Amino acid sequence: MNILTSTVFGLTLPLLASCATNVFTSVPLNQPHAVIKPEVTLGNFLAGNGTTQILEIDGRNPSYWRINDSYRVTPGKHTVGLLGLERGLNSMSILDFTAKEGKTYIAKSDQAGGLKMKFWIEEKDSKNIVGTSMGVLQVSPQSSYTPIFIPISN
């Protein structure tokens, strides 16, 4: 192996390993667990309205390609980072909740009036709210353009 290959390999491998250590991994099915998932509907997701995404569980990032996946967590206290999207606006918040074995929890968000967005986690069957928080809406920059007319002459 030449010096360039070993240098590139030596620098790249630690970077890849450091990225992989901060990824959330679900608890195995054969261990006690609860499930948390975001409230996402395909129509709302495509329109950018009323969508909640889980950005972080206990300081670890779930895969960004898994927008509507559910995650298995151990029973006990957890911290969840959420992103709420509502009509082109977005907001983020962090919630604490205590998961109970065998329960499923849904992370939700909704515009609460003005520039506020409410976040909450509810137990799926009972609809009991187990965690709540408020976030401030932020305007997502929109692309702007100026139409250009190109005259075509014969």
Is 109's pLDDT higher than 80?
Answer: yes
Q: What is the pLDDT of residue 101?
A: 95
The residue ranges of DSSP E strands in 3-146, in sequence order, are 34-38, 51-57, 71-73, 76-86, 89-99, 104-113, 116-123, 129-136, 138-139
pTM: 0.70
User: Looking at residue 60, what DSSP letter applies?
Assistant: B
Q: How far apart are CA 64 and CA 47, in angstroms?
A: 19
Q: What is the pLDDT of residue 15?
A: 43
105-133 average pLDDT score: 85
Q: What is the pLDDT of residue 21?
A: 65
The H or E element that residue 126 is part of is none
Contact (CB, 8 A) for 132 and 138: no
Q: How far apart are CA 116 and CA 97, in angstroms?
A: 21
Percent share of the chain, pLDDT over 90: 25
Q: What is the pLDDT of residue 9?
A: 38
Closest CA to 78 of 53, 56, 98, 100: 98
Contact (CB, 8 A) for 82 and 93: yes
Q: What is the pLDDT of residue 44?
A: 58
Is 14's pLDDT higher than 90?
Answer: no
Contact (CB, 8 A) for 122 and 106: yes
Contact (CB, 8 A) for 25 and 66: no
Q: How far apart are CA 51 and CA 63, in angstroms?
A: 17
pLDDT in tens, 24-80: 888 888 999 999 998 875 555 565 556 788 889 999 988 655 656 889 999 999 999
Contact (CB, 8 A) for 95 and 82: yes
9-21 average pLDDT score: 46
